Amino acid sequence: MLQSFKKQYLILLCSLFFFWSCQEELQNSKKEDRELLLKNISSKVSLPCSSPGLYNGMLEFSDEQQFNCYYDYLVNVTATSDEQMSEDDYLLEIEQVLGLNSLRADALAKFEQQNAIGWPSYKDIPEEHWITSNILRSILNVNREVKVGNYVLKYINPEFIASVKADRTDVLKKVEALGDNPSLEDIIQLDPAREVISVTSPKIAKREFGTIDFADAKGTRGTPIPLQIFRLSGTVYENFVCGNPGKVRFEGFTLSRLSVPQQARYRIEFNDGTNAAVEFLLLPNQYVLPVVEHTYPATNTTYHPTVKVKSISPYNSGGNAWNVIQTYSVYVRSMDQSCTTDARGGLQDMVINSSNVLRGKVDYYNWSPFPFGGNRSSIAGWTELHHIDSNGNWNRRKDKSTTLCVKFVEGKLYQGNFTLPYNSNFCIDPIYLPVEYECKSNTNQKRMEKHMGMYNTNTYATAALSYFTVQHEVGTSDGINGSFKQTIYGCP
């Protein structure tokens, strides 16, 4: 009996071992096939790193480096598009190989449905999505999510990205339940201790709310945070406004005792030489201090404001002593060029005739695809031809006879280093960009996305823009053509 049991046990173990071996071999085989397919999608571009996996319907990257590698791969693949294969054709093929139901495909399908109906005015025709990068839309799933390391990134709206620990699906569901327009307070209330969620902004790389160190994108704290009776969270960053340089925002400040929000008194000392300061009383159920804005008197200057907080509760045994005193560093830029919409790279129109309008947009920006640092300098934008169809509605024109071009006329960049803070020495070492044409036909829209960086072999550089001029052009076989120039200003 015992021998029979041992024999059955050994057979079971061997079967399980065989099953696990087969499963592992099958997974490795699928991964190899997937990577081979990705490398063969474009004969001109190969994927230089391992392909992302799929996790709960979203792409999964091991770390920031793999994410950036895959992002650059998509940029290079779409640059090979022509009349036979458009940018969206390439991206769709890649998404199908990975098994991803992407935001790009979803947004494009919804736009195309509306484009068939038309709009009352060409000014009413929107972008496919508020996430304007077609590449990023191809990485995110329909819920605007991607997994990097041990965190799931949820793009909530143009203001906020929430980064949630991947094993806390309950918290991620609560974030999703907030909808598309939650306040910062709504998000922070889900995790008062800042141990599960970090919140940042797609627009401002330094605008991060949380105490967790996300630097390595793997969910491991780079520097252990000592356990303190009182914990202060918040962020201070420059909020540059054309015509009003020097504006700095103090945002997202809360004081907690471990996971218990505290009634507290705040004092913000701006340290600008005028003794200016503000004080607030924050109740326990308020969670977040109201946004404070301050305009500093001098530009091209680094200031060091101080935030002081004391708890008004039985836990504060220090009486009138401040429980937390934190000093921040913020650099205030200046701008000596015109700050009009045209000069800043906003949307521009050129009416060709009563039935056709050429629209163009180019923007320069420093951005980070997720809240782990490593922001990248980019020039991005699009050009399109709008026309009135036979029903009298405005549409984006889509036919083989339309050619849309962006000509990079001239420009100058300044090289900086990611490891250095933005300061008055940033605008050095000018780089003059060559004249270059980019044209596409048989498409409704000419997109571009150019990253600044790798200007030498030693450092990964980011670039501050001095100025950049582009020329938008359109031409069709039936004689519709026109062009206009657009200049973007940045670092003075």
Residue 104: the pLDDT is: 97
Q: Residue 134 and residue 129: Cα distance in Å, rounded?
A: 9
111 and 184: one domain?
yes
Whether residue 194 sits in one domain with residue 249: no
DSSP strands (E only) in 224-286 = 231-238, 247-257, 260-261, 264-269, 277-282
Evaluate whether 409 touches 470 at the Cβ level (below 8 Å).
yes
Q: Which two tokens stand for residue 128?
A: 């496919």
Tell me which residue has tokens 């190969």.
46
Evaluate the CA torsion angle 31, 33, 39, 42 in order and state its sign. Answer: negative
Domain membership of residue 374 (yes or no) is: no
Same domain, 175 and 249: no
Q: Based on the fold, state whether residues 62 and 182 are members of the same structural domain.
A: yes
In the numeric block, the tokens 């201090």 are attached to: 289
Same domain, 230 and 171: no
Q: Which two tokens stand for residue 205?
A: 């790389």
Please report whether residue 372 resides in a domain. no
Q: Across-strand partners of 481?
A: 475
* End position of a domain, from candidates 307, 332, 357: 332
**Are 182 and 231 within one domain?**
no
Beta pairing partners, 219: none
CATH of the domain at 326: 2.60.40.10
Residue 294 structural domain:
226-237+245-332
User: Among 291, 311, 332, which residue terminates a domain?
Assistant: 332
Q: Give me the number of domains the chain comprises.
A: 2
Q: Which of 162, 201, 202 is nearest to 179 (CA)?
A: 162
**168 within a domain of the structure (yes/no):** yes
Q: Which residue has the tokens 């401040």?
A: 322
Residues 189, 273 within the same domain: no
Residue 272 in tokens: 């600008």
Burial (CB < 10 A; 0-12, 13-18, 19+), residue 91, is buried
- Kindly tell me the sign of the dihedral angle through the C-alpha atoms of 241, 245, 247, 248: positive
Last residue of a domain, which of 332, 362, 377?
332
- 481 inside domain: no
Specify the amino acid at residue 321.
Answer: A
| Residue 482 within a domain | no
**Residue 301, in any domain of the structure:** yes
Cβ(294)–Cβ(247) below 8 Å: yes
Within this chain, do residues 275 and 175 fall inside the same structural domain, yes or no?
A: no
In a domain, 65, yes or no: yes
121 and 250 inside one domain: no
Instruction: Say how far apart CA 4 and CA 35 lie, in whole Å.
Output: 46
| pLDDT at residue number 219 | 39
Inside any domain, residue 274 = yes
pTM higher than 0.85: no
Per-residue pLDDT of the chain (492 residues; tens, 9 = 90+): 555 555 565 565 566 555 555 555 555 555 555 555 565 565 667 898 999 999 999 999 998 889 888 988 998 888 887 777 888 999 999 999 999 999 999 999 999 999 999 999 999 999 899 988 899 999 999 999 999 888 899 999 988 888 888 889 999 999 999 999 998 888 888 887 667 888 877 766 667 776 444 433 333 333 444 456 777 888 888 887 766 778 899 988 888 776 677 788 899 999 999 999 999 988 777 778 889 999 999 888 899 999 999 888 765 655 678 888 999 998 887 765 556 666 667 889 999 999 999 999 888 776 665 555 556 677 888 899 999 998 999 999 888 788 999 998 988 877 654 444 444 445 556 777 778 888 887 676 788 887 765 444 344 456 667 788 999 999 988 888 999 999 887 654
Whole-number Å distance between alpha carbons of 62 and 149: 5
CB 154 within 8 A of CB 196: no
User: What is the radius of gyration, based on Cα positions, of the chain?
Assistant: 26
Query: Which among 451, 438, 447 has a CA at the least distance from the CA of 379?
Result: 451
Residue with tokens 């491991």: 220
Q: Are residues 323 and 269 in the same domain?
A: yes
Same domain? For 62 and 185 the reply is yes
Instruction: Tell me: do 133 and 261 sit in the same domain.
Output: no
Strands (E), 283-320: 292-295, 301-303, 306-311
